[in-house]
Structure 1
C-alpha cells in the first residue's frame, strides 16, 4: 500500500500542509523546499506525478523496477540515482543471510527531493533510516543550503549504514578466525558460517562499490550548478567515507576467502597428522604380530618349545617396538 510522507520549508522555516497533490505547486515556488518520500508507490500515480514534474520516463521505470543496480544518471532538469541502505538482522540458522537491503531511488530537483522506496524483499523495517535523514538535515541547518543538504543527509545515512554492516561482518569474521585456530577442533558450523559471510560480502560489495560513481556524479552536478558551496567539504568527506567502506569491504572479502582456504588447509594438516599416528602405531603393532607369527609356524625352528625361545622372542619384540617408538617420537609421528 502506497505511503507518502514529506516536509516543506518556506524561506528556511518548516511549515505544515504537505500533500502529495501539492508537490508540483511547492516546487514552483522559489522560496519553498520540499521533500516527498513515497513508499511502495502506485505505478500509475508515480507516472502521473512524473508527467506533471517533467521527470524522465525511463528514470521512473527504473525507480519501480523489481531489480536495479546502484547508479546515478544526470538529466537536463534533474538527477536520478538509486542506492541501497543496508541493515544487519539476526539469522535463523548458519546459512541464512544476515544482510537486508533497502532500495532507495531519488529524483533531485532544483527545489525538491522525491525519494521512492520499495518494500525490502528480505524483510526488515520498512522505514529504515528515513527518520535519520530528516534529523541529519535539521542538525545541519539544511534549510539554509537547499536540496543539496537533503541529498547529503540521505547519502550520509546510507553510507553510515554501510560502515555499520562492514563493522559487524569484520567482528564476525574475527570470531571465525578465533574458532579456526582454537586448540580444539573447529565447530562443524564454521564452514556454513564462512559461506554465509561470503554471501553477505558479495551482496554488500554490489551496493558499496558503485556508491563512488553516485557521489561523484552528484558532486559534479553540484559543481556545475555552483549551489551552496558550503556543502562542498561535506560532500568531500562523504566521498572519502565511501572510498573507505569500499576498501574495507574488499579487504574483508579477501579475509573471508583466506579463512575458507586456511580451514581447508588445516583440515588436510589434521588428516595428515592422524594418518601419521595411525601409520606409526600400525608399524609398532606389526612387530609383535610378525614375531609371534614367525614362532607360531608349524615347522621346526631354533629354540622351539623352550623357555629360552620365549625369552628371545619377547626380547626381540620389546627391543624393536621400543626402537620404533623412539624413532617415531623424534620425527613427531606419535
Structure 2
C-alpha cells in the first residue's frame, strides 16, 4: 500500500505526486523523490522497480522479507534492511523496513510493522537545511528513528528484570516461575540483539574512509547512529549477563532449599531413631535383662528417650536444622 509519494527540491517539499509522475521529477537537479510503502503487493514492488531501476536481488529480498539487518551496494544505489521491534503485550513483534537509496530517490518498504515514519518525514521537512543533503539525510533520519525505538524496549526489559530479581529471595515466590520469567526476558534480549548487533557493521560503512555517494558529507550523523548502536548493544549485553546471573542464583536457591529440607528430614529421623533404638533394645526376648524386673525400669526408659531427644532437638535447633 502506498503511504506517501513526495517530491523535494533543495530541501523543501514541492508536492505530493502520483506514482506515474515519479520519473518526471527524478531528472530535476537538486531534488529527489521519497516514496513510502507498507506491506506492498508484488505489483507495487515491480512498479517501483521500474520507476527507480532497482536491482532485482534487492527487490527480491524486500519481497520475501525475513532478512538479517544489512547494507548492500548496487552501483550508486544502497539497499538497507532494518528490524523494527514493537511491543505487543508481553511479547516483542519483529517487523522490517527495507530502504532503497539512490542519488535522487528514497524508497522505504515497511513490512509486518504497525508504526510508520510520519514523524520522521515531519522532522525532515522541518529541517530543510539538512534535507538539502538529499536522500542520504533521509536514510540517516530513518535509521536514527529505528535505532532510537530500541531504547524504550531495553529500558522496559531492565525494569522487568529488576522486578524479577526482587522476587528471587522472596519466600512466597516460586523459583520455577522466576526462572521461566528470566528465560522470557533472555529471549526478548536476543531478539533485540539480532536487530541491533548486525547494524554496527552496516553503519560503520557509512562514515569514515570510502562512503557511498549518497552519504557523502553526513559522516558525523552516521557516526552518531553508530554511537547509539554501541550503547544499545552494551546495554543488551549487560542485561544478558544479569539474566544469566539471576538464573544461576535462582537455581542456587532451589539447591539451598532442597538442602534445608534434607537437613530437616535428617534431624527428624535422628529424633525418631533414639527412642526406636531404646525401645528395640528392651523389646528383645532375652531372659537376663536386669531392667525388665526393675520397679522403675519403664519410667526410666521413657525419661531417657525424652532427655536424649531433648538434647538432640536443642543441638539441631542451635545448628539451624530445625
Q: Same fold (TM over 0.5)?
A: yes
Q: Which residue of 1 aligns with 2:279?
A: 292
- In structure 1, how many angstroms separate the alpha carbons of the residues matched to 2:269 and 2:319? 16
Partner of 1:154: 142
Counterpart in 2 of 1:233? 220
Q: Which residue of 2 aligns with 1:35?
A: 34
1:220 to 1:44, Cα distance in 2 relative to 1, 3 A: farther
Question: 1: distance between equivalents of 2:29 and 2:304?
Answer: 106
- Which whole-Å CA distance do the structure 2 matches of 1:223 and 1:19 have between them? 32
Alignment of 1:186-201 (within 5 A): 186=174, 188-201=176-189
Distance 2:266 2:185 in 1: 38
Q: CA deviation at 1:314?
A: 2.2
Partner residue, 2:110? 117
1:128-161 deviations in Å (ceiling 9; x for gaps): 1412222332344443332222111111111111
Whole-Å separation in 1 of the counterparts to 2:44 and 2:28:
22
Deviations 1:200-232 (A, max 9, x none): 122221111011122122335884538663x43
Does the Cα contact within 8 Å between 1:129 and 1:157 map onto a contact in 2? no
1:226/1:67 Cα in 2 relative to 1: closer, same or farther (>3 Å)? Answer: closer
CA offset digits 1:82-109 (Å, max 9, x no partner): 0011122213xxxxxx111120000111
**In structure 1, C-alpha distance between the alignment counterparts of 2:30 and 2:145, rounded to whole Å:** 26
Aligned to 1:245: 232
Q: Secondary structure at the match of 1:210?
A: helix
Q: Which moved more, 1:181-190 or 1:80-89?
A: 181-190
Q: Could you tell me how far apart the structure 1 residues matched to 2:138 and 2:210 are? A: 13
How high is the TM-score relative to the length of structure 1? 0.87
Q: Kindly state the Cα deviation for residue 111 of structure 1 after the two structures are TM-superposed.
A: 2.2
Alignment match of 2:251 (pick from 259, 264, 283): 264
Contact 2:34 2:106 (C-alpha < 8 Å) held by counterparts: yes
1:227–1:274 distance in 2 versus 1, CA, 3 Å? closer
**Is the Cα contact below 8 Å between 2:144 and 2:225 reproduced in 1?**
yes
Residues 12 and 132, structure 2, Cα contact 8 Å, conserved in 1: no
Q: Deviations over 1:39-85 (max 9, x none)?
A: 11222332243234222110111111142111001221211010011
Per-residue CA deviations over 1:262-286 (Å, capped at 9, x if unaligned) read 2112111110111111111111122
Deviates more, 1:194-203 or 1:4-13: 4-13
Work out the CA distance in 2 between the residues paired with 1:64 and 1:200.
Answer: 26
Structure 1: give runs of 5+ residues left out of the alignment: 92-97
Distance 2:3 2:255 in 1: 58
Q: Contact between 2:208 and 2:219, CA under 8 Å: does it hold in 1?
A: no
Q: Distance between the aligned counterparts of 1:324 and 1:139, measured in 2?
A: 82
The count of aligned residue pairs is 320
- Which has the larger displacement, 182-191 or 255-264? 182-191
Alignment match, 1:95: none
Equivalence for 1:77: 76
8 A contact 2:22–2:51 mirrored in 1:
no
Match of residue 161, structure 2, among 150, 167, 173: 173
* RMSD, matched Cα: 2.3
Query: How high is the TM-score relative to the length of structure 2?
Result: 0.90
- 182-191 vs 78-87, which moves further: 182-191
Partner Cα separation in structure 1 for residue 210 and residue 220 of structure 2 = 12
